[in-house]
Amino acid sequence: MTISVGDKIPEVTLIKATAEGPQPVKSSDYFAGKRVALFSVPGAFTPTCSAKHLPGFVEKASDLKAKGVDEIVGTAVNDAFVMGAWNKAAGSDDITMLADGNAEFVEAIGLTMDGSGFGLGKRGQRFSMVINDGVVEQLNVEEPGDFKVSSADHMLGQL
């Protein structure tokens, strides 16, 4: 079953990419007590993700924070080293990368996709959400191949 607005984020372990190396974080702890703009991509360094998705959140970070977002989080079914390198190459200090290397998060929220036709295996769909104190406030899931509703611009219009 796919997560919905009003649902609590399920308990999983994600890996935060930091300068000191990968650090495990529990979702219930991480998303508690703050409002988070989260975006998920099928893969770091992939074309749409690198050319549009991440840059949009980098560009609109201050606007999102001005609308009450405490933190901006990017996630993908990649390891923390890849997520950290992607943020270093194309992101900013305004973006926190949480790796979902084993797809536990996207499985728990029902938003996996099969990317095996492109050699990607099991991945997360392209989506964004606003999480307020661990509860889904907004959820924007893209149709396969699209990049519209999960963008930073679309999210800004919702806040």
- Catalytically active residues, by annotation: 49
Q: How far apart are CA 94 and CA 80, in angstroms?
A: 17
Could you tell me the two tokens for 19?
């300068």
3-state secondary structure of 23: strand
Could you tell me the two tokens for 62?
């201050």
Residue 12: how many CB atoms within 10 A of its CB? Answer: 19
8 A C-beta contact, residue 4 and residue 140: no
Q: How far apart are CA 59 and CA 78, in angstroms?
A: 23
